[in-house]
Amino acid sequence: MDRLLADASKRLEEALKYVEISEDASERLKYPKTSLSVSIPVRMDDGSLRIFQGYRVRYDDTRGPGKGGVRYHPNVTMDEVQSLAFWMTFKCALLNLPFGGAKGGITLNPKELSKQELERLSRGYIEGIADFIGPDMDILAPDVYTNEIIMGWMMDQYSIIQRKISPGVVTGKPQTMGGSQGRNKATGTGAFYVIQAMLAKFDRVPEDTTIAVQGFGNAGSVVAQLLAKAGYKVVAVSDSQGGIYAKMGLDIPSISQYKKENRGIKAVYCEDSVCNIVEHQILTNEDLLKLDVDVLIPAALENQITEKNADDVKARYIFEVANGPINSAADIILNQKGIEIFPDILVNAGGVTVSYFEWVQNRSGLYWTNTEVNERLKEKMVVEAEKVWSIAQQHSVSMRTAAYIHALNRLGEALDAKGTRDYYVNGLSH
């Protein structure tokens, strides 16, 4: 088993002590069902030809078609994609969605390509994996450095290959192509609902709660804005270039606007049309993780907190908006320090939940308003968060272990429905 996937699988070991799951089911969950690697030739704008490596993994589809994003990043490997597909399997089960877990990616730095080159690459990726995906087989979605435009290209290319309009193969599309209201902000919005519900358990008052957000991308910026609007004190944010910190709190809407216009972040304070720079410190992504704040929200990439820096983390609560931002060794250290960790498979599941809503809308041809989407999202996120909280209290385990217990129970039931060793040895009466 590859290194990243092996580390992801360690999370199951503790949860398995608390579930009655057959040997067959636990054995099946150790390995991805199918993994595909494709070479994508792309004609560049200067006439040269470059070959890019692409991947798609369907980890498990017992509960329904595979579901998972496609990321464009220099660090994409088969190992990483398999790990992300593993997490998606548990995330979909945790939220009780009729999906299995899948993931995809292409190894590249998307900032080095023109828009035309990105389109050719995206369509080429679909050419390579078209037989491997479909509305009833495996459904794509946006992820790191992919967006609704790229999803639109992918859905269009798949429709060309199939010779029929197939909106259900991709979620996170532009609304004009069958995308759902609220999908582009769903991950951050879903995380916000979980954060509010869980902080209430500790009687946290918003204005007395300081928050640092690592990763001011699609999910991180949305959750930061919603928290600031709700009265929480967001004191630090960062992106891939670095971060900013202001003890008195940052003006998040203005920073978000600045980032949109300048592709960077700065502590700006706006009043009407006049913007001033707020007194702030520049800090690195690593420094942000060490800040003495109440809540830390890693919303960037995986493995940001490891055994090397876990001792330096001072936050009281961590909400994982990124996938796998804390490795299993760091988990142990943080738990010993008494830090409450709310896991990625719960906190960032808003994206896949609204992707499910989009898929349902595509299949029915009936589309919901933004208010309807957010109401359904809030209900789903809060209901499952409360169930995970109850399991954690019942077994005196961490929220991460409780989340895996909850997901494993659902996965185990689905896997066992296909027949187990006990069934075949002892006959129909069992």
Active site members: 103
3-state secondary structure of 61: coil
CB atoms near residue 368 (< 10 Å)? 17
3-state SS string for 379-421: HHHHHHHHHHHHHHHHHCCCHHHHHHHHHHHHHHHHHHCCCCH
Cite the DSSP H helix spans in 35-132: 78-94, 115-129
Q: Which amino acid is at 28?
A: R
DSSP state of 117: H
Query: Going by C-beta distance under 8 Å and a sequence separation of 6 or more, which residues neighbour residue 358?
Result: 171, 172, 173, 178, 179, 180, 183
CA distance 68 to 57: 9
Q: Give 352's Cβ-side CA count (13 Å radius).
A: 35
* Under 8 Å between Cβ of 212 and 236: yes
* Under 8 Å between Cβ of 294 and 204: yes
